[in-house]
Amino acid sequence: MQVGDQAPRRRHHPNPTGAGRRRAATTLLVALVAAGTGACGGGGGGADLVIYSGRTQDLIEPLIDRFEQETGLDVEVRYPGDSAVAALQIAEEGDRGPDLFISQSPGAMGYLDSQGLLAPLSESAIGALGERFRAENAHWVGTSGRVRVLVYNTNAVDPESLPDSVFDLVDDAYRGRVGVAPTNPSFIDFVSALRELEGDEATTAWLRGLVDNGARSYKSNDAVLAAVARGEIDLGLVNHYYNERAKQEDPDQPTENHLFDAGDPGSLILITTVGRLTSGDDHRDAADRFVSFLLTDESQRYFAQETFEYPLVETVPPAVEDLPPLADIAAPSVDLARLGDDFEATGDLIRDSGLADG
């Protein structure tokens, strides 16, 4: 992707450092994002489009630069924190919120939809994307995909001994060998999907089984992968692209991804999303133009090349040649729109299981 010269009239608002106003109720977003966020307020001054992003500035800013240059629109972007933090802030702001939300987590987007805070995108904006990766009500669409995997240390693990199912990780053979990132939005979405597929009783038993089996908790997927690479643990639950990215930087790193058996919840496909907020009705045309822009071949190639995630538009191939095609991954069928319905209860489940950041 070609990134042009610096765009004019640019305003970026990093995460505020004040304690900020917090929700009174104990929800997942408060429980798992205990640091909270400051309310930076809605509105965008004279901007043509205001976006809150749960994805990082270094990833999103080049796209915004190109969009501004191609359209002449003035875009204001704020980065309140990860997707759960950003969703909480949007829920707090209500009708003072942004026009669009970019989320790394379908669950965070689904949470806002369950609160009645999302509005439909136009068919012209989302027509490039198949129905599999967009909400039935057109309130949000996917922008890139990731697959849940088990990353393992090739110096410590015989591939023949790898588990067929994510449920096997509570067996004695894996005692003290597994790492997870329990507050990571992707792990939260995975557990929500597990509840949809297997029910609360089985999900609770699995979470507590991990704790009883000595699973290690880390702050992030990057930290899980690093622990596997240095041999602190043998195995870790992460998204596929963490290892792909690390191997591009260091081809000799002794780590590989393992997909669980066809249909196993451990190989869930998750997507990053973008949705239009009801607070952005005055800027709906600009919002539609930006969403359409994210689904162009050029933008999809950018996501693939910068993140090693899967592009969701069929005309664009993955950036890593040895990645199995997304269509060939026999992931379980989960209604991603429903993950937000379980968002808060899933946090309670994870917290009550005893999993905590290391």
Same domain assignment for residues 131 and 275:
yes
Look at residue 256 and tell me if it is in a domain. Answer: yes
Query: Three-state SS string across 232-260, please?
Result: CCCEEEEEHHHHHHHHHHCCCCCEEEECC
pLDDT confidence bin for 357, thresholds 50/70/90: low
The confidence score (pLDDT) of residue 43 equals 54
User: 182-216 pLDDT, tens per residue?
Assistant: 988 889 999 999 999 999 999 999 999 999 999 99
Which stretch of 1-5, 137-141, 292-296 has the lowest confidence by average pLDDT? 1-5
Look at residue 342 and tell me if it is in a domain. Answer: no
User: 220-279 pLDDT, tens per residue?
Assistant: 999 999 999 999 999 999 999 999 999 999 999 999 999 999 999 999 999 999 999 999
Residue (of 40, 38, 49, 43) closest to 9 by Cα position: 49
Look at residue 330 and tell me if it is in a domain. Answer: no
Contacts of 226 (CB under 8 A, 6+ apart): none
Same domain assignment for residues 41 and 129:
yes
Look at residue 193 and tell me if it is in a domain. Answer: yes
Same domain assignment for residues 183 and 92:
no
Span between the terminal Cα atoms of the chain, in Å: 38
Report how far residue 53's alpha carbon sits from residue 34's, in angstroms, rounded to the nearest whole number.
19
Same domain assignment for residues 177 and 317:
no
Same domain assignment for residues 169 and 249:
yes
- 269, 329 contact by CB (below 8 A): yes
Report how far residue 39's alpha carbon sits from residue 351's, in angstroms, rounded to the nearest whole number.
25
Same domain assignment for residues 58 and 156:
no
Same domain assignment for residues 133 and 282:
yes
Q: What is the amino acid identity at position 297? A: D
Same domain assignment for residues 169 and 284:
no
104: which 2 tokens?
Answer: 């790394």
The confidence score (pLDDT) of residue 358 equals 54
Same domain assignment for residues 283 and 139:
yes
Residue (of 183, 29, 191) closest to 111 by Cα position: 29
Kindly report the CA angle at 336 between 141 and 189, in degrees rounded to 5? Answer: 115
Q: What's the average model confidence in pLDDT over 293-299? A: 97
Look at residue 4 and tell me if it is in a domain. Answer: no
Q: What is the amino acid identity at position 73? A: L
Same domain assignment for residues 264 and 281:
no
- For residue 242, give the CATH number of its domain: 3.40.190.10
- The residue range of the domain holding 160 is 146-268+348-353
User: 71-80 pLDDT, tens per residue?
Assistant: 999 999 999 9
Q: What is the 8-class DSSP label of residue 134? A: B
Same domain assignment for residues 264 and 291:
no
| Burial call 3-28: b when 16+ CB within 10 Å, e when fewer | eeeebeeeeebebbeeebebeeeebb
Report how far residue 118's alpha carbon sits from residue 278's, in angstroms, rounded to the nearest whole number.
5
Helix (H) or strand (E) holding 285: helix 284-294
How many structural domains does the chain have? 2
Contacts of 80 (CB under 8 A, 6+ apart): 15, 16, 37, 40, 52, 54, 86, 89
Look at residue 341 and tell me if it is in a domain. Answer: no
Residue 56: which region, alpha, beta or left (left: phi > 0; alpha: psi -120 to 50)?
beta
Across all residues in the chain, what is the average pLDDT?
A: 86
Look at residue 6 and tell me if it is in a domain. Answer: no
Same domain assignment for residues 141 and 156:
no
Look at residue 105 and tell me if it is in a domain. Answer: yes
